[in-house]
Amino acid sequence: MKTPEILEHLRRRIVSGEFPPGSKLPNRPELLAEYSVSVSAFQKCINQLIEWNFLESRGMKGIRVTANPPHLSRYALVFPTLPDHNELPDDTLYRSVKYELPAFQAEHPEIYFEFYRTGTAEAPVTAEFERLLADVSRGLLAGIIFFFFAPSREIQKKLGNFPCVVVSRDPNDTLHHYPFITFDTVELFRMCRERLLERGAKRIAVLVHSMLASARLTQIAELCADGRAFTPPEWILGLFHETGRPVLKRNLIRLLFSGLAGQRPDSLIVLNENLLPIACDALAELGLTPGVDVRIASHSNYPFEKEPLPQVDYFVFQVHDILENSFQQLTAREPHSLRILLQPHAISTTQKKEFLK
């Protein structure tokens, strides 16, 4: 057998469970005879499997399969960004994932993660997708978590039944057959609104992500119709933080808050924390202090990327919940549910400091 064939055969024997985690390989003379290969060629195969973390050398005690070989312990985190970016995309969720990983891995020392920056399905980075698919074929991954996009149908076909989870992309929006994790934005809105009403809000404006599903916008509008506060449809603005000129977004918010004190909104709900800096800048340009002149209740991801504003009420989606639910889905023999709805959590002013990383 040629060296690549031997390497693949040994890898398959490990992945299939013939050589389970922690087990010792047969003695070198036995394997050399079985594969009819030279010592140097065989050692190249062993060295490659050690580099891939399938095997470890115990010196005189021989070669053993690692306790956590990659096909059981290494998970892909796939982000829609370019591979030459030193930082993650301009979205707080990605950075919150990065901050949470050390604590999550301390909880689960048997697993580890590999980042892949593959671009989007519309603008894929071919080399990164090829690396991802190659690692799947080599048994170097146990599962894949796609953040905020689903791979193309062609990539899905190549992945076959390999365990995957998609974060925040409904199959009705981007076709895929994987379990998916989504965020209960309507409950987030309800919690934010209740807090503002407790604080005496009478006129509440809302900032949402411009791609928020129509069904959720309808539910938000229905909640606004209970008569407890004034929120006309034109006070619900959809903005996209990643594209467009910031000054134009600030202009829209300034227009919203430029009326007389008794006519403009006295409170603001921000359902995507990436819009919060834009809103605060716009209010400051009008001479209004965020959280004082205008009450604010905002979404956030935890861990916090930056120190939270003391005057703002935060309601968070915890990255730990995303990773834990993804991990459970990827390791289950059968997915518990194709749709997991994450719930927001309230963070008090006192708790903000305790939650800082």
Q: Quick: pLDDT tens for 248-290.
A: 999 999 999 998 888 999 999 999 999 999 999 999 999 999 9
Rounded to whole angstroms, what are the CA distances from 272 to 134, 183, 197, 338? 36, 11, 20, 25
What pLDDT, on a 0 to 100 scale, did the predictor assign at position 185?
Answer: 96
Q: How far apart are CA 300 and CA 316, in angstroms?
A: 5
Residues present in the chain in total: 357
Does 3.40.50.150 match the CATH number of domain 3-65? Answer: no
- Domain map (residue ranges) of the chain: 3-65, 70-178, 185-318+346-355
Percent of the chain with pLDDT over 90: 71
**Residue 90 — φ and ψ, nearest 5°?**
-80, 65
Q: At what angle do helices 319-331 and 92-107 cross, to 10 degrees?
A: 60
What pLDDT, on a 0 to 100 scale, did the predictor assign at position 84?
Answer: 64
Contact partners, residue 326, CB within 8 Å, separation at least 6: 143, 145, 165, 167, 181
Q: Are domains 3-65 and 185-318+346-355 of this chain identical in fold?
A: no
Q: At 10, is the pLDDT very low, low, confident or very high (cuts 50, 70, 90)?
A: very high
The matching CATH number, chosen from 3.40.50.2300, 3.40.109.10, 3.40.50.300, 1.10.3720.10, for 70-178 is 3.40.50.2300
Cβ distance 147 to 79 under 8 Å? yes
Q: Is the pTM of this model over 0.85?
A: yes
Q: How far apart are CA 140 and CA 54, in angstroms?
A: 9
Q: Which CATH architecture has domain 185-318+346-355?
A: 3-Layer(aba) Sandwich (3.40)
For the beta carbon of residue 16, count every other beta carbon within 10 angstroms: 11
Q: At 227, is the pLDDT very low, low, confident or very high (cuts 50, 70, 90)?
A: very high
Peptide bond into 303 cis (omega under 30): yes
Q: How far apart are CA 144 and CA 76, in angstroms?
A: 5
Q: How far apart are CA 161 and CA 180, in angstroms?
A: 15
